Amino acid sequence: MSGPKAQPGPGGLVLVDKAAGMTSHDVVARVRRLAGTRKVGHAGTLDPMATGVLVVGVERTTRLLGYLAGGDKSYTATIRLGESTDTDDAAGSILAAVDANVGEAAIREAVGKLTGDILQVPTTISAIKVDGERAYKRARAGEDVELAARPVTVHQFEVGELRPGGVVLDVDVEVRCSTGTYVRALARDLGAALGVGGHLTALRRISVGPFDLAACRSLEQLAEELVVLPLAAVARAAFPCRELDDLAARIIGNGGWIPAEEGHGDGPVAAFGPDGELVALLGDKNGRSWPVVGFTGAG
Protein backbone atom coordinates (compact mmCIF):
# COMPACT_ATOMS: atom_id res chain seq x y z
CA MET A 1 0.00 0.00 0.00
CA SER A 2 1.33 3.41 -0.89
CA GLY A 3 1.90 6.06 1.77
CA PRO A 4 -0.04 9.29 2.17
CA LYS A 5 -0.11 11.58 -0.84
CA ALA A 6 2.34 14.48 -0.61
CA GLN A 7 0.67 17.85 -0.14
CA PRO A 8 1.56 20.70 -2.49
CA GLY A 9 4.38 22.83 -1.15
CA PRO A 10 4.74 26.59 -1.48
CA GLY A 11 4.95 28.14 -4.91
CA GLY A 12 8.01 30.11 -5.94
CA LEU A 13 11.46 29.62 -7.38
CA VAL A 14 13.88 26.85 -6.42
CA LEU A 15 17.49 27.61 -7.38
CA VAL A 16 19.36 24.36 -7.94
CA ASP A 17 23.10 23.78 -8.27
CA LYS A 18 22.78 20.91 -10.72
CA ALA A 19 25.27 18.08 -10.47
CA ALA A 20 26.96 16.48 -13.47
CA GLY A 21 25.32 13.40 -14.96
CA MET A 22 21.73 14.57 -14.44
CA THR A 23 19.38 15.92 -17.06
CA SER A 24 17.35 19.04 -16.37
CA HIS A 25 14.27 16.80 -16.50
CA ASP A 26 15.79 14.66 -13.72
CA VAL A 27 16.08 17.77 -11.55
CA VAL A 28 12.49 18.81 -12.27
CA ALA A 29 11.30 15.32 -11.30
CA ARG A 30 13.15 15.52 -7.98
CA VAL A 31 11.74 18.97 -7.19
CA ARG A 32 8.24 17.71 -8.02
CA ARG A 33 8.61 15.08 -5.33
CA LEU A 34 10.11 17.51 -2.82
CA ALA A 35 7.44 20.17 -3.43
CA GLY A 36 4.55 17.69 -3.63
CA THR A 37 3.25 19.03 -6.94
CA ARG A 38 3.55 18.24 -10.62
CA LYS A 39 3.38 21.93 -11.57
CA VAL A 40 7.14 22.37 -11.87
CA GLY A 41 9.32 23.51 -14.78
CA HIS A 42 12.74 24.99 -15.50
CA ALA A 43 14.04 28.13 -17.22
CA GLY A 44 16.70 26.93 -19.62
CA THR A 45 18.13 23.44 -20.07
CA LEU A 46 21.55 22.36 -18.84
CA ASP A 47 23.20 19.40 -20.58
CA PRO A 48 23.91 16.33 -18.43
CA MET A 49 27.67 17.06 -18.39
CA ALA A 50 27.07 20.65 -17.25
CA THR A 51 26.71 21.81 -13.66
CA GLY A 52 25.51 24.95 -11.95
CA VAL A 53 22.48 27.22 -11.90
CA LEU A 54 19.20 25.64 -12.91
CA VAL A 55 16.20 27.88 -12.26
CA VAL A 56 13.16 25.79 -11.32
CA GLY A 57 9.65 27.22 -10.94
CA VAL A 58 6.97 25.74 -8.71
CA GLU A 59 3.21 26.32 -8.99
CA ARG A 60 2.32 29.82 -10.26
CA THR A 61 5.93 30.80 -10.73
CA THR A 62 6.05 28.47 -13.76
CA ARG A 63 4.23 31.30 -15.57
CA LEU A 64 7.40 33.39 -15.29
CA LEU A 65 9.82 30.79 -16.62
CA GLY A 66 9.64 31.81 -20.28
CA TYR A 67 10.57 35.35 -19.32
CA LEU A 68 13.30 34.31 -16.87
CA ALA A 69 14.86 32.06 -19.53
CA GLY A 70 15.38 35.10 -21.75
CA GLY A 71 17.95 36.69 -19.46
CA ASP A 72 21.70 36.69 -20.01
CA LYS A 73 23.64 33.69 -18.73
CA SER A 74 27.21 33.35 -17.45
CA TYR A 75 29.48 30.31 -17.51
CA THR A 76 32.92 29.03 -16.69
CA ALA A 77 34.11 26.41 -19.16
CA THR A 78 37.06 24.46 -20.46
CA ILE A 79 37.68 24.18 -24.20
CA ARG A 80 39.98 21.43 -25.49
CA LEU A 81 41.83 22.48 -28.62
CA GLY A 82 43.19 19.78 -30.90
CA GLU A 83 40.12 17.53 -30.92
CA SER A 84 36.71 17.97 -32.51
CA THR A 85 33.70 15.78 -31.66
CA ASP A 86 30.33 15.08 -33.25
CA THR A 87 28.51 16.77 -30.35
CA ASP A 88 30.96 19.65 -29.81
CA ASP A 89 31.51 18.41 -26.26
CA ALA A 90 33.16 15.55 -24.38
CA ALA A 91 30.04 13.37 -24.57
CA GLY A 92 30.55 12.79 -28.29
CA SER A 93 32.92 10.75 -30.43
CA ILE A 94 36.17 12.27 -31.65
CA LEU A 95 35.98 13.17 -35.33
CA ALA A 96 39.51 14.53 -35.77
CA ALA A 97 42.63 15.10 -33.69
CA VAL A 98 45.65 17.23 -34.53
CA ASP A 99 48.51 18.81 -32.63
CA ALA A 100 47.14 21.97 -30.98
CA ASN A 101 50.31 23.93 -31.57
CA VAL A 102 48.79 27.40 -31.12
CA GLY A 103 49.96 30.31 -29.03
CA GLU A 104 48.11 32.46 -26.54
CA ALA A 105 48.09 35.50 -28.82
CA ALA A 106 46.38 33.55 -31.61
CA ILE A 107 43.80 32.19 -29.15
CA ARG A 108 42.99 35.66 -27.83
CA GLU A 109 42.67 37.05 -31.33
CA ALA A 110 40.26 34.27 -32.32
CA VAL A 111 38.25 34.72 -29.12
CA GLY A 112 37.94 38.43 -29.87
CA LYS A 113 36.29 37.65 -33.21
CA LEU A 114 33.75 35.46 -31.39
CA THR A 115 32.82 38.27 -28.99
CA GLY A 116 30.01 40.78 -29.46
CA ASP A 117 27.08 40.43 -31.85
CA ILE A 118 27.79 37.35 -33.95
CA LEU A 119 26.01 34.82 -36.14
CA GLN A 120 26.25 31.36 -34.60
CA VAL A 121 25.29 27.99 -36.05
CA PRO A 122 23.84 26.01 -33.12
CA THR A 123 25.28 22.61 -32.35
CA THR A 124 23.38 19.79 -34.06
CA ILE A 125 22.84 18.11 -30.69
CA SER A 126 20.43 20.81 -29.56
CA ALA A 127 16.77 21.12 -28.66
CA ILE A 128 16.02 23.35 -31.65
CA LYS A 129 13.09 21.98 -33.66
CA VAL A 130 13.57 21.03 -37.31
CA ASP A 131 10.26 20.36 -39.07
CA GLY A 132 8.62 19.80 -35.70
CA GLU A 133 11.26 17.43 -34.26
CA ARG A 134 14.19 18.20 -31.97
CA ALA A 135 17.51 18.49 -33.79
CA TYR A 136 19.24 16.12 -31.37
CA LYS A 137 16.69 13.38 -32.09
CA ARG A 138 17.25 13.70 -35.84
CA ALA A 139 21.04 13.74 -35.39
CA ARG A 140 21.01 10.67 -33.14
CA ALA A 141 18.85 8.89 -35.70
CA GLY A 142 21.67 9.36 -38.20
CA GLU A 143 20.22 12.27 -40.17
CA ASP A 144 22.47 14.99 -41.53
CA VAL A 145 21.12 17.96 -39.60
CA GLU A 146 21.84 21.45 -40.88
CA LEU A 147 20.82 24.38 -38.69
CA ALA A 148 20.73 27.97 -39.84
CA ALA A 149 22.99 30.56 -38.24
CA ARG A 150 21.23 32.95 -35.91
CA PRO A 151 22.22 36.17 -34.18
CA VAL A 152 23.45 35.95 -30.59
CA THR A 153 25.43 38.28 -28.36
CA VAL A 154 28.57 37.21 -26.52
CA HIS A 155 29.07 40.00 -23.99
CA GLN A 156 32.20 38.48 -22.46
CA PHE A 157 34.57 35.74 -23.67
CA GLU A 158 37.64 35.83 -21.45
CA VAL A 159 40.64 33.52 -21.71
CA GLY A 160 42.02 32.18 -18.44
CA GLU A 161 44.56 29.45 -17.79
CA LEU A 162 46.09 27.48 -20.68
CA ARG A 163 46.98 23.89 -19.79
CA PRO A 164 48.91 21.83 -22.35
CA GLY A 165 48.26 18.08 -22.24
CA GLY A 166 50.36 16.30 -24.82
CA VAL A 167 49.04 17.24 -28.25
CA VAL A 168 45.91 18.93 -26.90
CA LEU A 169 45.58 22.28 -25.17
CA ASP A 170 42.90 22.95 -22.55
CA VAL A 171 41.78 26.56 -22.29
CA ASP A 172 39.74 27.81 -19.32
CA VAL A 173 37.30 30.57 -20.28
CA GLU A 174 34.55 32.73 -18.82
CA VAL A 175 31.52 33.52 -20.97
CA ARG A 176 28.56 35.86 -20.51
CA CYS A 177 26.07 35.67 -23.34
CA SER A 178 22.52 36.22 -24.50
CA THR A 179 19.94 33.48 -24.32
CA GLY A 180 20.19 31.05 -27.24
CA THR A 181 23.99 31.10 -27.29
CA TYR A 182 25.67 27.68 -27.26
CA VAL A 183 28.99 27.58 -25.42
CA ARG A 184 29.65 24.25 -27.16
CA ALA A 185 29.39 26.07 -30.46
CA LEU A 186 31.86 28.70 -29.24
CA ALA A 187 34.30 25.87 -28.46
CA ARG A 188 33.75 24.35 -31.90
CA ASP A 189 34.14 27.69 -33.67
CA LEU A 190 37.25 28.66 -31.70
CA GLY A 191 38.91 25.38 -32.69
CA ALA A 192 37.85 25.85 -36.30
CA ALA A 193 39.19 29.40 -36.41
CA LEU A 194 42.56 28.16 -35.14
CA GLY A 195 42.58 25.24 -37.58
CA VAL A 196 42.93 22.59 -34.88
CA GLY A 197 39.37 21.76 -33.90
CA GLY A 198 37.89 22.11 -30.45
CA HIS A 199 35.21 20.91 -28.10
CA LEU A 200 33.89 21.57 -24.62
CA THR A 201 35.14 19.39 -21.76
CA ALA A 202 33.60 21.21 -18.79
CA LEU A 203 30.76 23.71 -18.34
CA ARG A 204 29.43 25.36 -15.20
CA ARG A 205 26.63 27.91 -15.34
CA ILE A 206 27.23 30.55 -12.71
CA SER A 207 24.24 32.83 -13.32
CA VAL A 208 20.87 33.13 -15.06
CA GLY A 209 19.69 36.73 -15.13
CA PRO A 210 19.86 38.02 -11.53
CA PHE A 211 20.19 34.55 -9.98
CA ASP A 212 23.66 33.16 -9.29
CA LEU A 213 25.38 30.22 -7.63
CA ALA A 214 25.50 31.91 -4.23
CA ALA A 215 21.72 31.46 -3.95
CA CYS A 216 21.68 27.86 -5.22
CA ARG A 217 21.57 24.61 -3.29
CA SER A 218 22.28 21.05 -4.29
CA LEU A 219 19.41 18.57 -4.50
CA GLU A 220 20.78 16.90 -1.39
CA GLN A 221 20.57 20.19 0.50
CA LEU A 222 17.09 20.85 -0.85
CA ALA A 223 15.99 17.41 0.34
CA GLU A 224 16.92 18.53 3.85
CA GLU A 225 15.25 21.93 3.49
CA LEU A 226 13.28 22.98 0.41
CA VAL A 227 14.19 26.65 0.04
CA VAL A 228 11.67 28.44 -2.16
CA LEU A 229 12.04 32.09 -3.22
CA PRO A 230 8.52 33.58 -3.14
CA LEU A 231 6.85 34.70 -6.35
CA ALA A 232 6.86 38.42 -5.48
CA ALA A 233 10.56 38.34 -4.56
CA VAL A 234 11.37 36.58 -7.84
CA ALA A 235 9.55 39.22 -9.86
CA ARG A 236 11.22 42.08 -7.98
CA ALA A 237 14.64 40.58 -8.65
CA ALA A 238 14.07 39.83 -12.32
CA PHE A 239 11.98 42.68 -13.76
CA PRO A 240 11.48 46.44 -13.56
CA CYS A 241 8.77 47.09 -10.98
CA ARG A 242 5.63 49.21 -10.87
CA GLU A 243 3.56 49.81 -7.75
CA LEU A 244 -0.21 49.97 -8.30
CA ASP A 245 -2.86 51.55 -6.14
CA ASP A 246 -5.94 49.53 -5.25
CA LEU A 247 -7.99 50.71 -8.26
CA ALA A 248 -5.22 50.04 -10.80
CA ALA A 249 -4.56 46.62 -9.23
CA ARG A 250 -8.25 45.70 -9.61
CA ILE A 251 -8.32 46.87 -13.23
CA ILE A 252 -5.20 44.88 -14.15
CA GLY A 253 -6.41 41.89 -12.14
CA ASN A 254 -9.58 41.88 -14.23
CA GLY A 255 -7.63 41.99 -17.50
CA GLY A 256 -8.06 45.70 -18.20
CA TRP A 257 -5.52 48.37 -19.08
CA ILE A 258 -4.04 51.39 -17.34
CA PRO A 259 -1.93 54.27 -18.70
CA ALA A 260 1.66 53.25 -19.38
CA GLU A 261 4.43 54.52 -17.15
CA GLU A 262 7.69 55.68 -18.72
CA GLY A 263 11.18 54.73 -17.65
CA HIS A 264 10.93 50.94 -17.48
CA GLY A 265 12.76 50.11 -20.72
CA ASP A 266 11.95 47.16 -22.96
CA GLY A 267 10.37 43.94 -21.82
CA PRO A 268 7.71 43.17 -19.22
CA VAL A 269 7.20 45.13 -16.01
CA ALA A 270 6.21 43.44 -12.74
CA ALA A 271 3.15 45.16 -11.25
CA PHE A 272 2.47 44.91 -7.52
CA GLY A 273 -0.65 45.68 -5.53
CA PRO A 274 -0.79 47.70 -2.32
CA ASP A 275 -0.31 44.46 -0.34
CA GLY A 276 3.06 43.85 -2.07
CA GLU A 277 1.85 40.82 -3.99
CA LEU A 278 2.49 40.35 -7.71
CA VAL A 279 -0.61 41.22 -9.75
CA ALA A 280 0.72 40.72 -13.29
CA LEU A 281 3.51 41.18 -15.76
CA LEU A 282 2.66 44.19 -17.89
CA GLY A 283 3.39 44.90 -21.52
CA ASP A 284 3.04 48.36 -23.08
CA LYS A 285 1.37 49.25 -26.35
CA ASN A 286 0.11 52.59 -27.64
CA GLY A 287 0.56 54.29 -24.29
CA ARG A 288 -1.34 51.60 -22.39
CA SER A 289 -0.15 48.85 -20.04
CA TRP A 290 -1.84 45.47 -20.34
CA PRO A 291 -1.41 42.25 -18.32
CA VAL A 292 0.56 39.72 -20.41
CA VAL A 293 0.61 37.24 -17.52
CA GLY A 294 -1.81 37.53 -14.63
CA PHE A 295 -1.39 36.19 -11.11
CA THR A 296 -4.59 37.11 -9.30
CA GLY A 297 -6.75 34.21 -10.51
CA ALA A 298 -6.81 30.63 -9.29
CA GLY A 299 -4.24 28.07 -10.36
Summarised one tens digit per residue, pLDDT across range 50-92 is 999 999 999 999 999 999 999 999 999 999 999 999 889 998 8
What's the confidence (pLDDT) of residue 147? Answer: 77
pTM reported for the whole predicted model: 0.89
Q: Where does the pLDDT of residue 138 fall: very low under 50, low under 70, confident under 90, or very high at 90 and above?
A: low
Residue 289 near residue 282 (C-beta atoms within 8 A): yes
- Own/partner long-range contacts of 99-104 (Cβ < 8 Å, ≥24 apart): 99/167, 99/196, 100/167, 100/168, 100/169, 100/194, 100/196, 101/196, 102/169, 102/194, 102/196, 104/159, 104/162
Q: By C-alpha distance, which of 232, 233, 192, 201 is closest to 215?
A: 233
The residues, ordered by sequence, that sit 6+ positions from 182 with a Cβ below 8 Å of its Cβ are 88, 120, 122, 123, 126
Q: By C-alpha distance, which of 268, 295, 260, 288 is closest to 69?
A: 268
Maximal CA-CA distance, the chain = 70
Q: By C-alpha distance, which of 77, 95, 98 is closest to 87?
A: 95
Q: Where does the pLDDT of residue 112 fall: very low under 50, low under 70, confident under 90, or very high at 90 and above?
A: very high
Q: Please state, rounded to an integer, the average pLDDT across all residues of the chain.
A: 90
Mean pLDDT of 260-276: 89
Alpha helices (H) along the chain: 24-35, 65-68, 104-113, 135-140, 183-194, 219-224, 231-238, 246-253
Catalytic center residues: 47
What's the confidence (pLDDT) of residue 6? Answer: 41
Q: Is the dihedral of CA 145, 149, 153, 156 positive or negative?
A: positive
Q: Where does the pLDDT of residue 211 fall: very low under 50, low under 70, confident under 90, or very high at 90 and above?
A: very high
For a pLDDT cut of 70, what percent of the chain falls above it? Answer: 89
